[in-house]
Structure 1
Amino acid sequence: MSVQNLAKALKLQSARPLWKIFQRSYYLYSPEPIHPLPDRVPDWKTADEAVQVIQSGQRVFIHGAAATPVHLIKAMCKHGKSANIRDVELMHIHTEGPGLYNEPEYAGMFRSNSLFVGGNSRKAVMEGRGDAIPIFLSEIPRLFRQKIINLDVALVSVSPPDKHGFCSLGTSVDCTRSAIQNAKYIIAQVNRHLPRTFGDGIIHTSHIDAMVECNDPLPEHGKGSLTDEEVKIGKVVAENLVSDGATLQMGIGSIPDAVLAQLGNHKNLGVHSEMFSDGVVDLCEKGAITNNDKVIMTGKIVSSFAVGTKKLYDFMNNNPFVEMCDVAFTNNTAVICQNPKVTAINSCIEVDLTGQICSDSIGTRIYSGFGGQIDFIQGAALGLDGKGKPIIAMPSATKRGESKIQVTLKPGSGVVTTRAHVHYVVTEYGIAYLFGKSLRERAYELIQIAHPDHRESLEKQAFERLKCMPTKFK
């Protein structure tokens, strides 16, 4: 807002208190109090005892990602068999561990309903024993806060209570805060390995019904070795699209990791992302990430969940540099767009020559979910400073040598990022800027960054589809 417009606004609103003029309603996304409840304490139980509350026909929420309460899940599955439980619906984003409830032997007992499909749920969904809900990550909390979906029991992981009785949801606040606000009964797996984090994941023990101690190490995802193509993509993005002072969002996978690995010489980077991993820790240690230029929560890494190694979890523990927030906040486009030079780096499964991005399925087979890709693609595109960069990056070909740039998406493939949302598409062969381009111009730009083995074929197929040659507009 310019000085002149600010003065005008103050004059027009002079009858109202300043705090009301500049009140940001989006901070009120989480209205539930966290104050201790007097004369209420949780029952300490074994896992087998705690899960006895789960009955047939109920809906149970399971904490996800690195905070997956694997010990409670094992006890729940054991209870399901011994009590002959039927038709229990399990709600969750991606969970770590074996996901026992998805095994065929539990069919009829438990049915997984994924808000984001992880590796341990794909087979169950593909075989009709599990379900998946297409939804933006930012909107999952609405399901629980608006009572569209109601929960009977929540199984969560928490850090040990501090001297005031407060625990933390640790590495995964995401949609879990809204789930525990909705659930009738909360069972918490207390784990000293779960980092105590600052932000929205604070819960007092008086709000928990049963607590179970289990100090199993958290699941870890180490940084795998990058392919030559991924390294090249990282360099292309880092050298051409990431500016000093940019606010970064990274999706899951090797492509975002490849970009982070190339940013060591950048300055004053910030992080406002749905998730982060070890690559961010490395950049903090090098001084590349300071968060000094951010508008929202200046000076802090803002995220909703994290998955990585023990190095990451140790970095997060009791670290005021990190704020773990409700995903309704982190992924709110009205919040994202206020940060400077928002640079959203995501990957995909496939893109067609008009710019349609498939990120959640391989043909008709559901592979993952919408996640926060479109939340941040749109947030970056709408950046108030006009310097946002929404990026989709991917290798030009699959490991089998099939082009990831296709004339049309595979039959049954879902569109996550539409052709109207897409701006930058990157492969190891360069950058295709599609925003404001016609269909034939888009086809031309994408063919230039396709694998050389497929360019001639793509050009022929593009002509058949568009009835004209893919070309630049002069």
Structure 2
Amino acid sequence: MSVQALYQQKKMAPLDAIRVVKNGDTIVVPTGVGEPPALLTALSDVRREYRGVQISQILPLRKYGYIDPETTENVRHTAYFFGGATRPGGQEGWIDFVPAYFSELPVLIQRGQTPADIVFAMASPMDSHGFFSLSLGPDYTMAAIAKARAVVLEVNPNVPFANGNCHIHVSQVAALTESNDPILEVGLPKIGPVQQAIGKYVAEMIPDGATLQIGYGGIPDAVVMQLTDKHDLGIHTEMVGDGIMTLVEAGVVTNRKKNYLPGKMVATFALGSKKLYQFMDRNPSLEMHPVDFTNDPYLAGQNDNLHAINATMQIDFMGQCGSESLGFSPYSGTGGQSDFVRAANRSNGGKAFIVLPSTAKDDTISRIVPTLTAGTHVSTSKNDINYVVTEFGVAQLRGKTAKQRAEALINIAHPNFRGELREAAKKMRIL
């Protein structure tokens, strides 16, 4: 049978395509805009017909009907990482989560330590050889495809066909449905004076020829905006966004100086504008790969001069970063921060930056604290931390003593809090 005949045989309406789901199944969905809205809407519409179904995903972007405290016995979300749609449920306790490094999610799936019975995913149109591209989020999804009983695709002409290990053949697909809605666009975060000041400090420490991993947020984007005078930068990251695309268009990113996969940008999911998704389509300089490839600290760390830029919400005198919870209350998730901090520490000439404004809530709360708020989930450990940057400067912590760390962090805290931080450090017998 030809691939076109196979395609037609498996094409059906969303409500028919989701009938592969059985009670007790876990459905794995790609990160962010890789989520298939027609399939998840159809499942939401009939969720009361099911029992014990779970949907596992990083960063859901839409609040589908199944994200409902009244129907958790039917279909329940299990978060690999919370987004705005699922954060309230996580904080109220009716959405559960899986603590894990982003890089290790594929291994957890492969070993059966976290389940993957069904995959729902967005996909590009099929090529002449019968392959679809899961370009928006191959992440842990490729591992789930290898493990799952059935794969269901939502094929959309607006999904780019990207290169890399992100393809699936029509023969591997149980069912598919078609949609042509625009891919969800995610705008750039707000950048204010504080973010610009932090971005300037970081940008000044990034040399020509560096390879970059850039996380999501106002501060990482502020860094990107101040790199337009650099030369021969490379990209090895988890997320490809509009900021990276802008650097490519400006001629700043050439990938020529990378010694691991020279000439290629690599990422595991995309988040940005329609222009970004068009930029990704059959772009020979970009490859989308599973996260156990992009985020593996050993592999990423083979890039010399790897510079990793990630944000946190709170940091204590020892350098422990609380990047994913507000006390015991979950906010986001582990993600790839620790992966790339460790990768940059391994890299010859690498630098791992943790960035944060010095205060929160209109300068009423210091984000630099003697000890993390009780119950806070530690994202990056005291043993991994290196550069910490606020709008007041840079503290380099790796290899430093406890006293030296506390002194350096107090020096980049907001001036209004330095006195009480110093007193706290004395009471703790650190200073």
Tell me which interval the TM-score lies in, with the shorter structure as reference length.
Answer: over 0.9
> Secondary structure at the residue paired with 1:413?
coil
Whether 1:405 aligns to 2:372 is: no
User: Is the contact between residue 198 and residue 322 of structure 1 (CA under 8 Å) also seen in structure 2?
Assistant: yes
Report the aligned-residue RMSD: 1.6
Q: Which residue identity does 1:433 align to in structure 2?
A: Q
Decide which structure has the larger Cα Rg and report it.
Answer: 1
Whether 1:454 aligns to 2:421 is: no
Q: Which residue identity does 1:397 align to in structure 2?
A: T
User: Is the contact between residue 97 and residue 219 of structure 1 (CA under 8 Å) also seen in structure 2?
Assistant: no
Q: What is the match of residue 391 of structure 1?
A: 353
Whether 1:88 aligns to 2:66 is: no
Q: Which residue, out of 257, 263, 285, partners 1:293?
A: 257
Q: Which residue, out of 124, 147, 159, partners 1:159?
A: 124
User: Is the contact between residue 164 and residue 288 of structure 2 (CA under 8 Å) also seen in structure 1?
Assistant: yes
Q: What is the match of residue 71 of structure 2?
A: 106
TM-score, normalised with respect to structure 1: 0.88
Give how far 1:150 is off. Answer: 3.5
The alpha-carbon distance between structure 1 residues 217 and 38, as it changes in their structure 2 partners (threshold 3 A), is closer
The superposition leaves residues 119-143 of structure 1 with CA deviations (integer Å, 9 ceiling, x where unpaired) of: 2111111222111111001100012
Q: Which residue identity does 1:349 align to in structure 2?
A: M
Structure 1, unaligned runs of 5 or more: 1-35, 470-474
User: Is the contact between residue 51 and residue 79 of structure 1 (CA under 8 Å) also seen in structure 2?
Assistant: no
The 5 Å alignment of 1:330-349 reads 330-349=294-313
User: Is the contact between residue 245 and residue 340 of structure 1 (CA under 8 Å) also seen in structure 2?
Assistant: no
Measure the CA separation in 2 of the matches of 1:289 and 1:101.
Answer: 42
Give how far 1:39 is off. Answer: 9.2
Q: Which residue identity does 1:448 align to in structure 2?
A: N
User: Is the contact between residue 77 and residue 96 of structure 2 (CA under 8 Å) also seen in structure 1?
Assistant: yes
User: Is the contact between residue 4 and residue 130 of structure 2 (CA under 8 Å) also seen in structure 1?
Assistant: no
Q: What is the match of residue 64 of structure 1?
A: 31
Q: Which residue identity does 2:168 align to in structure 1?
A: I
Give how far 1:40 is off. Answer: 5.7
Q: Which runs of 4+ in 1 moved over 4 A?
A: 36-42
The alpha-carbon distance between structure 1 residues 154 and 468, as it changes in their structure 2 partners (threshold 3 A), is closer
Structure 2, unaligned runs of 5 or more: none
Give how far 1:337 is off. Answer: 1.4
Give how far 1:314 is off. Answer: 1.1
User: Is the contact between residue 186 and residue 209 of structure 1 (CA under 8 Å) also seen in structure 2?
Assistant: yes
Q: Which residue, out of 324, 329, 336, partners 1:365?
A: 329
Q: Which residue, out of 255, 263, 266, partners 2:230?
A: 266
User: Is the contact between residue 81 and residue 97 of structure 2 (CA under 8 Å) also seen in structure 1?
Assistant: yes
TM-score, normalised with respect to structure 2: 0.96
Aligned residue pair count: 428
Whether 1:124 aligns to 2:86 is: no
User: Is the contact between residue 102 and residue 129 of structure 1 (CA under 8 Å) also seen in structure 2?
Assistant: no
User: Is the contact between residue 37 and residue 207 of structure 1 (CA under 8 Å) also seen in structure 2?
Assistant: no
Q: What is the match of residue 13 of structure 1?
A: none
Measure the CA separation in 2 of the matches of 1:462 and 1:221.
Answer: 41
Give how far 1:468 is off. Answer: 4.9
Q: Which residue identity does 1:55 align to in structure 2?
A: K
The superposition leaves residues 35-87 of structure 1 with CA deviations (integer Å, 9 ceiling, x where unpaired) of: x9999655111001111222221111122211110111010011213x2x111
> Secondary structure at the residue paired with 1:49?
helix
**Identity across the alignment (%):** 38
Q: What is the match of residue 78 of structure 1?
A: 45
The 5 Å alignment of 1:12-23 reads none
The alpha-carbon distance between structure 1 residues 161 and 320, as it changes in their structure 2 partners (threshold 3 A), is same
Q: Which residue, out of 381, 386, 391, partners 1:423?
A: 386
